[in-house]
Structure 1
Amino acid sequence: MKEYQLLSEYELLNAIKLNDYLAFEELYRRYFDVLYGYAYNILRDFDMAQDIIQDIFTWFWENREKWELVSCKGYLLTAVKFKTASYFRAAKFHQDFFDRIKEAPQVEHDESLTLEVKQLQELIEHTIKDLPERCRLIFQMSRFSYLSNKEIAAQLDISEKTVEAQITIALKKLRLKLEKYNYLMFFIC
């Protein structure tokens, strides 16, 4: 039997990609407390922090064949940041979120992820610029100005169904363009 506690993070990741659930349990054991503490510092809600961490690890296991990681601590901390942002966006606690995120401890940069995130951001920006004008405006109002569908509909004097349809079109185009980065799309859509 392998001594999983003695394995490096790289060795654990390789074992996980080969469906070794005991290696996954060791990775979970190593990082749960750090990730949970980070999520709790932002959310100040024990249950929500635990739910977010469980979601991240569940997704991580279920998509183990898709990711190309040699290190994951920075990746997992970034996932926590994205998932907490999604929580606040959905709950409409934007200002509180930004205040808390400023106070959150800085995460270590995973250099292998930095380049990939930069490429992903450029691809997202390019894809958004290629959307039809009305679709782009509605998507930006939703995702960057954090307006609800109802607020967008009122501002543009259109129906909420039209807003929903345009956001769906934008997300579909983003997903198609970003298939290569599928393991990151879980956190931003």
Structure 2
Amino acid sequence: MIIGGALWAKQDRPGSLIAAFAGGLAPDLPMIAMVLFATKVTGVPAQDVYGILYFSDGWQRVFAIDHSFLVWGLVLAAGYLLRVFTLTAFAGSGLAHAAVDFLTHHDDARQQLWPFTDWKFASPFSYWDPAYFGSIVAPLEALLVFVLTIMLVFQLPRLWEKALTLAISAIFLVPIVVTGGFHGLHGM
């Protein structure tokens, strides 16, 4: 969300920050909903959610759509063609999320070239798995979020934009500070 905000929020377009934050979250909303439903409603243990359900064909089909470069690219093109900057910021941030995930998921990679192929790029880097440099990528991601948060706070003119940026960043950074580790990143 912070990366999308840094890329797409414009000082002269107050709605662009919210659109960019929403676009940065949107690719993961189906997964969040599915995880919450599985764990809170049906009582599936978290280890089964992340060890079995996450890799099931049904869940992978959803992830293929919500992280598809084609889907996000079409929405981005629509924003440009319709000259609706909030749609452009939303889609651009969603596409940035998909691109970052493309580069930082190994065993948990997504089918981001859907619907053309079911192929997954198993990145040599993971944002969480130490076997694929997660112990390096996670701190770099946290540093990037911290730096971009400071940049946004100084660039954004409205107090509510600064406060929203700090709140979203805190959701990511505070657990790192409190626990002293990166094991809680992205709910993993």
Q: TM-score, normalised to structure 2's length?
A: 0.31
Structure with the higher fraction of residues in helix conformation: 1
Query: Over alpha carbons, which structure has the higher Rg?
Result: 1
